[in-house]
Amino acid sequence: MTLPTNLLLAATLLLASAGGARADVQLLQPFGTAGSTLNAPWHLAGLPHQKQPFTRFAVVELDGRRALRMEADSSYGNLVHPLRADGTGLTLSWSWRVDEFVAASDLTTKRGDDSAVKVCVFFEMPMSKLPFVERQLLRVARAASDEPLPAATVCYVWDRTLPAGTTLDNAYTHRLRYLVLRSGAPSTARWQPERRDVAADFLKLFGHESAQVPPIVGIAVGADADNTHGHSVAHVADLVLAP
């Protein structure tokens, strides 16, 4: 893919951050009920003019809980929930499990930039906060897309090899940055809980660009295996964004 195309992957994650959800109401709708269609405003998002298959998403009952099943098979895709909320004072919590990792994934390289599961937060960071070169690259990407492109995206991942605590930029764009929360197969229960201070994580990954935490304009979950042409299966449950 060309650089502008890969810069656009963050924009397709966001997909129209229309509608301002207030911080004093439920910020994230449940995925839905098992076997039914997804609850709005959750919707499928892909790359611009995507030719590869879309990652498959389904709401299922698993281990006594309602969960989102995601299966990537040489595919790309995300489920996006647009919203608008103050970026400070919010906690994102969820549980997840990985049943099958993308065998050849390597987030440090373009050819290996695939993940069995990621949970992402999109921030409306002002262009003025970006380094000069990044501003120009972002302008090029935005000019090539009809969709808004977030200037800062934090993605939490469960990686097959990178140690927990690893932080790194996406191999294609510095506007999307990873924080590895889990590494490899769990040693005990397959479901693992997470709870993140999203403002603290923004400052950890983007604080050298902005000392202020910008508004949150979207949440997404996704999986992809389009670069390695691999396969993965993972689940996410109990996703909540709250004070």
pLDDT tens-digit series, residues 108-157: 999 999 999 999 999 998 878 877 877 787 787 767 665 567 889 999 99
Number of domains in the chain: 1
pTM: 0.87
Would you state the pLDDT for residue 148? 66
Q: Which residues 6+ apart lie within 8 Å of 17 measured at CB?
A: 82, 83, 84, 122, 124, 148, 150, 217, 218
Which of 71-75, 135-139, 145-149, 184-188 shows the highest mean pLDDT? 71-75
β pairing state of 76-85 and 65-73: unpaired
Residue 5 scores a pLDDT above 90: no
Domain span holding position 26: 3-242
Closest C-alpha among 201, 202, 159 to residue 182: 159
Average pLDDT, the chain: 87
Residue 81, class by beta-carbon neighbours within 10 Å (0-12 exposed, 13-18 middle, 19+ buried)? buried
**CA 225/CA 234 separation, integer angstroms:** 12
Give the tokens for residue 116: 């069995």
Give the tokens for residue 97: 């499990």
> Is the CB of residue 232 less than 8 Å from the CB of residue 98?
yes
Q: Measured on CA atoms in the order 123, 23, 39, 96, is the torsion positive or negative?
A: positive
What band does 46 get if pLDDT is binned at 50, 70 and 90?
confident
Helix (H), strand (E) counts: the chain: 3, 12
Bridge partners of residue 58, in order along the sequence: 69
**CA 63/CA 69 separation, integer angstroms:** 12
Left, alpha or beta for 242 (phi > 0: left; psi -120 to 50: alpha)?
A: beta
**CA 198/CA 186 separation, integer angstroms:** 24
The enclosing domain of 183 has a CATH number of 2.60.120
Backbone angles phi, psi at 133, to 5 degrees: -65, -40
